[in-house]
Amino acid sequence: MNFEIIFVLLGLAGMLVALIMDKMRPGIVLLSLVVVFMAAGIITPKQMVAGFSNRGMITVALLFLVSEGIRQSGALGSVVKKLLPGKGASVTKAQCRILPIVSAFSAFLNNTPVVVIFAPILKNWSKKVGLSCTKFLIPLSYATILGGLCTLIGTSTNLVVHGMMIDRGYEGLKMFDLAYIGIPITVVGLVFIILTSKKLLPADRPDNFEDEEAEIAEDSGSHVVEVVLGSRFPGLKRKLKNFDFKRRYGAEVKEIRQNGQVITKNLGEVRLQEGDTLVLLTDGAFTQTWSDSSVFLMMTNGQEIPTRPVPTWKKWTALILLILMIVGATVGELPYTQEHFPGVKLDMFFFASVTAVMMAWLKLFPPKKYTKYISWDILITIACAFAISSAMEESGLAALIASFIQDVSGSLGAWGALALLYIVTLVITELITNNAAAALAFPLALETAAKFGVDPMPFFIAICIAASAGFATPIGYQTNLIVQGAGNYKFTDFLKIGLPMDFIVMVISIGLIPLIWPFTPLN
| pLDDT at residue 142 greater than cutoff 90 | yes
Predicted pLDDT at 37: 93
User: Which amino acid is it at 10?
Assistant: L
Of 379, 388, 267, the C-alpha closest to 9 is 388
Q: What is the mean pLDDT of residues 438-467?
A: 92
| pLDDT at residue 392 greater than cutoff 60 | yes
Q: What is the DSSP letter of 277?
A: E
User: Which amino acid is it at 470?
Assistant: G
| pLDDT at residue 327 greater than cutoff 50 | yes
* Rounded Cα–Cα distance for residues 172 and 199 (Å): 41
Pick from 163-177, 179-193, 361-375, 458-472 the range whose average pLDDT is largest.
179-193
Domains of the chain, CATH where assigned: 211-300 (3.30.70.1450)
User: Which amino acid is it at 86?
Assistant: G
| pLDDT at residue 218 greater than cutoff 70 | no
Better pLDDT: 309 or 442? 442
* Rounded Cα–Cα distance for residues 194 and 91 (Å): 8
Predicted pLDDT at 206: 59
Predicted pLDDT at 121: 84
Q: What is the mean pLDDT of residues 301-326?
A: 76
Predicted pLDDT at 431: 77
* Rounded Cα–Cα distance for residues 62 and 105 (Å): 17
Of 349, 373, 435, the C-alpha closest to 156 is 435
* Rounded Cα–Cα distance for residues 287 and 225 (Å): 8
Helix (H) or strand (E) holding 300: strand 296-300
pLDDT 10s digits, 242-258 = 888 888 888 888 888 88
pLDDT 10s digits, 472-481 = 888 767 788 8
Of 510, 511, 523, 286, the C-alpha closest to 418 is 510
| pLDDT at residue 208 greater than cutoff 60 | no
Q: What is the mean pLDDT of residues 367-376?
A: 85
pLDDT classification of 304: cutoffs 50, 70, 90: very low
pLDDT 10s digits, 249-290 = 888 888 888 877 788 888 888 888 888 888 888 876 777 777
The number of CA neighbours under 13 Å toward the Cβ of 494 is 26
pLDDT classification of 308: cutoffs 50, 70, 90: low
Predicted pLDDT at 454: 92
pLDDT classification of 88: cutoffs 50, 70, 90: confident
| pLDDT at residue 217 greater than cutoff 60 | no
| pLDDT at residue 469 greater than cutoff 80 | yes
Cβ pair 257, 276 in contact under 8 A? yes
Predicted pLDDT at 407: 86
User: Which amino acid is it at 271?
Assistant: R
- Of the given ranges (125-134, 145-154, 176-185), which has the lowest mean pLDDT? 125-134
Predicted pLDDT at 129: 85
Q: How far apart, in Å, are the Cα atoms of 14 and each of 36, 434, 449?
A: 12, 18, 27
**How many residues does this entry show for the chain?**
523
* Rounded Cα–Cα distance for residues 286 and 308 (Å): 14
Predicted pLDDT at 220: 58
Cβ pair 175, 330 in contact under 8 A? yes
Predicted pLDDT at 301: 63
Predicted pLDDT at 205: 61
Q: Give, in degrees to the nearest 5, the angle at Cα 118 between 115 and 123.
A: 110
pTM for the predicted model, two decimal places:
0.86
Of 185, 109, 95, the C-alpha closest to 138 is 95
Predicted pLDDT at 207: 56
Q: What is the mean pLDDT of the chain?
A: 85
- CB-based contacts of 238: which residues, under 8 Å, 6+ apart? 271, 272
Q: What is the mean pLDDT of residues 24-50?
A: 90
What are the DSSP calls for 173-238, one per residue? --TTTTHHHHHHHHHHHHHHHHHHHHHHSPPPPPPSS-HHHHHHHHHTT-EEEEEEE-TT-TTTTS
Cβ count within 10 A of residue 96: 15
Q: What is the mean pLDDT of residues 497-515?
A: 94
Cβ count within 10 A of residue 176: 17
In this prediction, what percent of the chain has a pLDDT beyond 90? 28
Q: What is the mean pLDDT of residues 325-349?
A: 81
Pick from 275-279, 294-298, 355-359 the range whose average pLDDT is largest.
355-359
Predicted pLDDT at 348: 86
Cross-strand bridge partners of residue 271? 239
Q: What is the mean pLDDT of residues 221-237?
A: 81
Cα end-to-end distance, the chain, whole Å: 30
Cross-strand bridge partners of residue 257? 262, 277
